[in-house]
Amino acid sequence: MSGPGRKLSVLGAGSCGTSLALLLARNEHYVQLWGRNSIAMAAMIRNRQNERYLPGHEFPDTVAPTADLAEALRGADLLVVVVPSGGFRATLEKVLAHAAKPIDLVWATKGFDPHSGELLHEVARELSPARTRMAVLSGPMFAREVAAGLPAAVTVASPDSGFANELAEVFRNPRFRVYTSSDIVGVQAAGAVKNVFAIAAGIADGLEFGANTRAALITRGLAELLRLGVGLGGRQETFIGLSGLGDLVLTCTDDQSRNRRFGLALAKGMSVDDAVASVGQVVEGVETTRQVMRAGEKTGVELPIAEQVNEVVFHGKAPNEAVNALLSRPAGRENM
């Protein structure tokens, strides 16, 4: 797996998938970029860029967009999945129907399986051949900045340390720093759960509660993330690293975050459906909120911030009431 010039498949031609395709092409790999929308993919073939999500970032000759999954998989020895979590299972099922041999698998999808509540490595292990090597790529990385070649640092996690190191070499360049981890559970949990707290931060900022409230939400959100992540089997140190604290700070504080923008829209009085429509892309935090509450019940972990986001998103609670409910909770001993 070492060395340039590999043939890779990126499945998912949204903003994140496209940005990773551009990154991999800059790293001298040949990338087959697949999207299921044939009209959108035809436009990318014609215009040599993703005009909807990343306008102005032209595809080099080593990026080949296609809506044909069999074509996207042909000759590839690494599969990079960047579809929304709701489509992760169905995408892998389609891959297995077309793949002629086991393919190494890494995903940058952040979420839970909406049907089973499982983390995505459990879905991948259930569906994939026994010899499949798998990993997750996660951390603070906005697509537009990755596409522009701005500096970033992320984590790739796999139970196979050799595979994690090989993937780090595939993705790494002077502007994209890749650390490795064996904690595939913790890295996935962190990447998924932080989206719920980004919604909360967006709501609080949309209500103009100020920087003090935002800092409190991020800090106590980290405490919830750590408790739940450890309860699910992750390691504590993972949640204060790039895929935990790093990604949490990013998504809670910058309006490139879809989940934060969704929270801002809710604070303006938009309905959930209108708020999602205003973002214009999948808002992973919506379904993740449901799954986080499910995980909290399973592990017995108290999740006061996630609970209030759940009340707003699924039970019609007014955003200002939700934030006030959090701020009025008795403050006991601070304990991460």
Q: Which residues are tagged catalytic?
A: 194
Q: Read off φ and ψ for residue 47, nearest 5 degrees.
A: -100, -10
**Pair of tokens at residue 213:** 């409230």
Residues 273, 143, 74, 129, CA torsion sign: negative
3-state helix/strand/coil string of the chain: CCCCCCEEEEECCCHHHHHHHHHHHHCCCEEEEECCCHHHHHHHHHHCCCCCCCCCCCCCCCEEEECCHHHHHCCCCEEEECCCHHHHHHHHHHHHHHCCCCCEEEECCCCECCCCCCEHHHHHHHHCCCCCCEEEEECCCCHHHHHCCCCEEEEEECCCHHHHHHHHHHHCECCEEEEEECCHHHHHHHHHHHHHHHHHHHHHHHCCCCHHHHHHHHHHHHHHHHHHHHHHCCCHHHHHCHHHHHHHHHHHHCCCCHHHHHHHHHHCCCCHHHHHHHHCCCCHHHHHHHHHHHHHHHHCCCCHHHHHHHHHHHHCCCHHHHHHHHHCCCCCCCCC
Pairwise CA distance, residues 109 & 94, whole Å: 17
Amino acid residing at 264? L
Which residue, chain included where needed, has tokens 């205003």?
278
